[in-house]
A = this chain, B = another copy of it.
């Protein structure tokens, strides 16, 4: 039990918290006034097309928040709070409409909130092509499209659209994928078999060994199918997302059963404006080159000799007859950096097709 002295202490702490809250609120209010002043300057003379959302500026603010964080609150949680404060202030200047594809229930939606904060206006559409179309028409300010995920690899429609779209990549978002054990049962007892995509079974191997050593495992085509099967058969457990539990009315017996915790899906933000340097950026491009020995190596050397790191390379068969393959390459740096600009100029001479998809801030949010 708490005695009288402690009760008194608790009251004093609560009064201190109330005082702190009042100060925080006064500051947030001042921040909103600043946002309003920015909007006034930008729209002076009726420039309705003024750009309010500045991905490079937001990335810088969030990086600064993480860098100076010495509190008990984890860096990413602190950054998320500021992400929300910025989102509310930005909405005062201009409501941001973001089109996205929602294949896995609320999963991609979570990516929109993570990148833009809760004051964003999300707009669900039913295909990746439509995300591009709606942003190109100007019916949404930005789009969020999946680039690759660890179970299904590269998302081809996104890559295909990027080759021809006039839009630019202006940001990246990573979302951790957590595997859950789902079932109609409310505990492991009563489960006779666990079904999942083979990669999911592999990613949860240790957990399954420790917690369900006697339960049979069976690989199926996808985790969504596994959840569907568990909905129809009470003796099954399925490995899938928490969103799938909602979709298929299953119980979540356990969350985070994956052995490694760095299993993520990557999204890109697409929009009509180029993004300025933020101090820590990436540049994405797509290239095609003459089909002769050494041509890829030659291209890559333009980056390597300038000490530019390549963070990703993916080749996909081209839908155009002119080339066999298209190469999607991400490198460190912004296309306005002198070093990278020079490399790009050189690469353009070595390739038969070279399109810069965009330079954008490395995501400050884990």
Contacts and interface: CB of A to CB of B under 8 A. Distances in A.
Interface size class of A (residues with CB under 8 A): 35 or more
A238 to B, nearest CB: 13
A71 B32 contact: yes
Contacts of A119: 77
Contacts of A266: none
A247 B9 CA distance: 50
Nearest to A72: B32
Contacts of A35: 17, 72
A92 interface: yes
A73 B57 contact: no
A82 B44 contact: no
Interface string A44-75: 10000000000001000100110011111100
Given A81-B88, A252-B124, A20 B27 contact: yes
A43 B24 CA distance: 28
Given A124-B246, A246-B105, A6 B41 contact: yes
A156 interface: no
A73 to B, nearest CB: 5
B82 A81 contact: no
A246 B2 contact: no
Nearest to A183: B126
B126 A72 contact: no
Contacts of A24: 24, 27-28, 31, 82, 85
A32 B73 contact: yes
Interface string A244-269: 01110111100000000000000000
Give the oligomeric copy count: 2
State the majority secondary structure of interface residues on A: helix
A318 interface: no
B21 A64 contact: yes
Contact of A38 (B13, B123, B125, B126): B13
A29 interface: yes
A124 B44 contact: no
Nearest to A9: B41
Contacts of A250: 126
Interface in A285-344: none
A65 B44 CA distance: 33
Given A105-B105, A106-B105, A130-B251, A65 B21 contact: yes
Given A33-B71, A77-B119, 13 more contacts: A21-B64, A24-B27, A24-B82, A25-B68, A25-B69, A29-B70, A32-B73, A72-B92, A77-B91, A105-B106, A125-B252, A126-B245, A130-B186
Interface of A: 2, 6, 9-10, 13-14, 16-18, 20-25, 27-38, 41-42, 44, 57, 61, 64-65, 68-73, 77-78, 80-82, 84-85, 88-89, 91-92, 102-103, 105-106, 109, 118-119, 122-126, 130, 133-134, 184, 186, 242-243, 245-247, 249-252
